[in-house]
Amino acid sequence: MSFASKRKPRESMLWIVGIFLIVVMVLAAVVVREGSGVWIVTALAVGAILLITALAHDLLRRARKALLPVGGGGDLAQLIRSLVVESHTDFLTGLHNRRSYDQFISEITRASSQLGGRVALVLIDIDRFKSINDRYGHPVGDAVLKALSRRWHDAVRGSDLLVRMGGDEFCLVLTGVGLDEALVVAEKIRNISTASLIVGGLSAERTALELTVSVGVLAWSTTQGPGAAKALDQADQALYAAKAGGGNQVVGKNAV
């Protein structure tokens, strides 16, 4: 395929005419010595305008092509929606990420009157996770995170938000529940986490891992309790107490 044929007909014509004018007018100026300076200037000006116009069309075409999905039909809105979803999704587990958590907390705080202001933050941390990475390697550690994420995701309500906060720490946001209900959910999370997990890559026999998690629960009133940042800090304190107590347990408290 020739250089010109890759462009649309109008763009190709502008390129051809521009180059043709420059060549012809320069040759004419050489033959006709009288007023050759005016001929050259005119030829170059007209040719340059046409060439710049063709170049601008070409650059715009390339920019539009770069913005469109590969093989797509020009649905730029769909591409933007996909990018927004990716920006709110954890790349490893497919769960929500910290940005999604912040936005969700902001939304439920504004809608607190409809929810009765009752929210529970359930922080989950895998006990001695670093030892898994150190012993088996990070690919196995990543497989553990993904497998546990799927278990937790399948065990909670569709209206709940499960977030990977970072590393091996996760947060489950429960709406419309108090401390007692949240503790029941937290114990469910702890129990399903302790079931043997078989992960490929540990050995030829796909050795099973025995895992435990620590869980901190905070029952929070968005209408009367502390702000979002302080609530998360108090939930983290509950998680720290669970880990300090030896792990594999749930510690819950009401926000103050």
Q: Which listed residue (90, 125, 127, 168) is catalytic? A: 168
Active site residue 168: yes
Cα–Cα distance, 14 to 122 (Å, whole number) = 65
Q: How far apart are CA 256 and CA 103, in angstroms?
A: 23
The residues annotated with a catalytic role in the active site are 168
